[in-house]
Structure 1
Amino acid sequence: MKFGLTPWRPASVSSWEPFEEMRRMQERLNRLFGEEGTRSEMMDIDTLTPLVDIKEKDNNIIVTTDLPGVEKKDINIDIRDNKVWISANTHKESKEEKEGYLMRERTYSKFARAFSLPSAVKEGEANAKLEDGVLTITLPKSEIEEKHRIMIE
């Protein structure tokens, strides 16, 4: 072969996997925006990721998200290190009996979302309410500590 070129061989061609590429891109974006480590074993392909609204009002950060069909007892909210993890599981069962047959349907859904907060909060003073499928979490902001300048001798 002239000029040191390597001949093309079909075996050396790798196949492009678009879903794997999207997963890697999501991981890079999470690292870029400080969301690393937010995926967990419960956040798989069947987990719904609800949209979240975050706003600052007075001395609070207010987080709202839609969790349709979810009951209070099925929601978990964890706040630590200025991050919020929301997860919920739902289970519905319906039964219909007509002449000659019985139809029973079961539906399971998982919701999970994790995100960083825009400022420090008082984790122990947070409260949440669920009204008509909308979860609202109110997080009081922490007072910013005054920085102390250290003089060098």
Structure 2
Amino acid sequence: MKWPAKRSFSGPARWDPFEEIRRTQERLNQLFEDFIPMEEWGGGKVYTPAVDIKEEEDKLLVTTDLPGINKEDVVVNLKEDMLEISAKSSKEKESEEEGYLRRERAYTQFYRAVRLPSSVREEGSTAKMENGVLTISLPKLKIEAPKKKIEIE
């Protein structure tokens, strides 16, 4: 039996609980970023929520989740075949305990632009926000081909 070569170090590596916590936090951050996609935009994080588009006979239904956002903070723009959804929300919390004053602020921003699969009309479009879910109904634009009359000889 051959013994391994002697190592020249002062002793066994010490377990660092703070390093373990840091690595666990990094893994959790990566998990959340995979679950809730975010992009760096203007120096801050912007959530890019998933969007579902359902095509019906006469309209498109677009739904997206915007948790914790009030309908007053949501802006929906329609530019030709592009739908833009953006939302900003800020919350401020202040508490005072035993002479300590604590003030915390939280900012949440959502942005998503999607190309629509068919042409839609702005007139008759509706948007509804219920329990953190935004539903947008966009009537399809009916393009009728011009009739060409053929003269009989």
Q: Give the Cα separation in 2 of the matches to 1:86 and 1:137.
A: 10
CA RMSD across the alignment: 2.3
* Structure 1 gap ranges (5+): 1-41
Q: Percent identity?
A: 47
Q: Give the Cα separation in 1 of the matches to 2:64 and 2:41.
A: 17
In structure 2, the partner of 1:96 is: 95
Aligned-partner residue type, residue 123 of structure 1? E
TM-score (norm 1): 0.65
Contact 1:43 / 1:112 at 8 angstroms: preserved in 2? no
Once the two structures are superposed, the pairs formed by residues 47-58 of structure 1 within 5 Å of their partners are 47-58=46-57
Q: Secondary structure at the match of 1:50?
A: coil
2:108 is equivalent to residue 109 of structure 1: yes
Q: Give the Cα separation in 1 of the matches to 2:86 and 2:147.
A: 39
Q: Secondary structure at the match of 2:76?
A: strand
Q: Secondary structure at the match of 2:110?
A: strand
Q: Which runs of 4+ in 1 moved over 2 A?
A: 42-45
Aligned-partner residue type, residue 111 of structure 1? F
Q: Secondary structure at the match of 1:136?
A: strand
In structure 2, the partner of 1:46 is: 45
Structure-2 change in CA distance of 1:61 and 1:43 (3 Å): farther
Deviations 1:106-134 (A, max 9, x none): 00111100011111111122110100111
